């Protein structure tokens, strides 16, 4: 079904019926840019979430996990701030996250357990609650049905562009819309990956089905990207379904089609994070096949995708396949090097097989270098005859990445 789905880049979290959003500035960012985003539904939502697997969890992650468990079918809003992660901030940080819920609920006439909160930015600094309180009031006042783009701007940190989109899918009872926004450019690695994302839909779907769909969609999207190998303290992807389309997702066929649409949107948003990664000049699709299991293939692909030597070779347009194979060999997955085949590809170029049956081919170096010089590159590594397959979307590692992160707190 995916080929029938069209991503609408003009869409946002307010594209589905009954959703409103805003993005305002309250002084968290010294440059005066938007720094607080609010997404509101005009009806209670079934909610789903996936969160960081980092043992060091930010206060808003802890609060959202509690809120989701307590009120999975009555969520109304998501409040997000940038510039301050509210992570490693102790009891005070938890109090501030819960106070943010309370203040946002008060401004909207809701209960605190109907509000999710998300934060992104510098770790280890207490939230300037005087500024955030002002931002909460301003964000509530600025809500509109076309505020999704402003919200996507407000959640940015080192992102260079806002990232949002929508799509529609035809189910047996009619059309439903999904919209989403995401931020992320650095500290990007699976478990889940590092970003904040809000996905909205006007579909009428049971909460347990929505959670299952998000869990499944997350695997090949948000949990299949890596920029620098660092998993964040704040990773959160939330999905809200308010049912305002009146179209139910209750048959097996509709559930499958809805999952396909959610997966398609999640993959687009996840890939947008990699394309806007800190200092990124290359988008690389790394696929490993022939493993015993999908998990083994994914483990190898992740190891290659996070190798500094591989990533710097991408940055230099150097088809150094030896680094790729060496990274695969230390991934902790057993395979026979004599069965390996390695191919590089890019649009407009004939694929180049650099390694066949564990032996270098007679390919022309300039042909491979021309592929590695492209902005979008595909690398395919086969390690045997197994059915396991895994794909990771990654990037190069440039001097700009180092520069950005060398003075991130300043």
From the list 194, 231, 285, 287, the catalytic residue is: 194
Annotate 167-212 with DSSP letters as a single string.
Answer: EEEEETTEEEEEEEEEE-SSS--SSS-S-EEEEEE--B--HHHHHH
- Is 361 marked active-site? no
Helices (H) and strands (E) in the chain, counts: 11, 15
CA distance 393 to 227: 8
Nearest-Å Rg of the Cα atoms of the chain is 22
CA distance 23 to 139: 6
CA distance 306 to 189: 9
Q: Answer whether 390's CB lies under 8 Å from 286's CB.
A: no
Cβ-in-10-Å burial (0-12, 13-18, 19+) of 160 comes to: exposed
Cβ partners under 8 Å of residue 120, min gap 6 = 80, 81, 82, 83, 85, 155, 157, 183, 196, 234
Q: List the strands of the sheet with 352-356, edge to edge.
A: 225-226, 388-395, 283-291, 376-382, 341-345, 352-356, 359-360
Residue by residue, what is the 3-state secondary structure of 109-152?
A: CCCHHHEEEEEECECCCCCCHHHHHHHHHHHHHCCECCCHHHHH
Biggest CA-to-CA distance, the chain: 70
219-244 residues labelled b (16+ CB within 10 A) or e (exposed): bbbbbbbbbbbebbbbbbbbbbbbbb
DSSP state of 14: T
317-334 residues labelled b (16+ CB within 10 A) or e (exposed): bbbbbebbbebbeebebe
User: Which 3 state secondary structure label does DSSP give 360?
Assistant: strand
Beta bridge partners of 19: 41
Catalytically active residues are: 194
């Amino acid at each position: 079904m995916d080929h029938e789905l069209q991503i609408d880049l003009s869409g946002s979290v307010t594209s589905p019926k009954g959703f409103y959003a805003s993005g305002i500035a309250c002084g968290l960012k010294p440059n005066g840019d938007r720094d607080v985003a609010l997404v509101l539904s005009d009806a209670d939502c079934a909610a789903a979430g996936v969160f960081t697997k980092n043992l060091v969890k930010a206060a808003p992650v802890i609060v959202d996990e509690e809120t989701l468990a307590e009120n999975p079918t009555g969520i109304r809003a998501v409040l997000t701030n940038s510039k301050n992660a509210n992570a490693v901030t102790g009891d005070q940080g938890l109090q501030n996250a819960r106070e943010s819920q309370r203040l946002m609920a008060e401004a909207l006439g809701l209960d605190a357990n109907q509000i999710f909160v998300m934060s992104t930015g510098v770790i280890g600094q207490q939230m300037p609650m005087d500024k955030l309180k002002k931002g909460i009031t301003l964000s509530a006042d600025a809500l509109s049905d076309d505020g999704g783009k402003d919200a996507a701007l407000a959640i940015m940190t080192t992102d260079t562009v806002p990232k949002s989109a929508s799509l529609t899918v035809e189910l047996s009872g009619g059309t439903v819309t999904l919209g989403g926004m995401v931020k992320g450019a650095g500290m990007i690695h699976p478990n889940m990956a590092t970003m904040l994302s809000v996905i909205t839909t006007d579909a009428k779907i049971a909460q347990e089905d929505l959670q299952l769909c998000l869990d499944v969609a997350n695997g090949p999207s948000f949990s299949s990207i890596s920029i620098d190998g660092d998993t964040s303290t704040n990773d959160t992807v939330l999905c809200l379904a308010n049912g305002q389309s009146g179209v139910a997702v209750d048959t097996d066929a509709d559930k499958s089609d809805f999952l396909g649409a959610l997966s398609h949107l999640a993959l687009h948003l996840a890939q947008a994070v990699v394309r806007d990664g800190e200092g990124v000049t290359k988008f690389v699709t790394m696929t490993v096949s022939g493993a015993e299991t999908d998990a083994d293939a994914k483990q190898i692909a992740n190891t290659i995708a996070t190798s500094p030597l591989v990533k710097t070779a991408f940055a230099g347009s150097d088809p150094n396949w030896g680094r790729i194979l060496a990274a695969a060999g230390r991934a902790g997955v057993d395979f026979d090097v004599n069965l390996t085949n390695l191919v590089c590809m890019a649009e407009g170029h004939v694929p180049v097989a650099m390694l066949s049956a564990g032996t270098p081919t007679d390919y022309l170096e300039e042909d491979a270098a021309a592929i590695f010089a492209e902005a979008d590159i595909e690398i395919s590594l086969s390690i045997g005859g197994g059915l396991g397959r895994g794909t990771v979307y990654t990037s190069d590692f440039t001097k700009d990445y180092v520069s950005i992160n060398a003075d991130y707190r300043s």
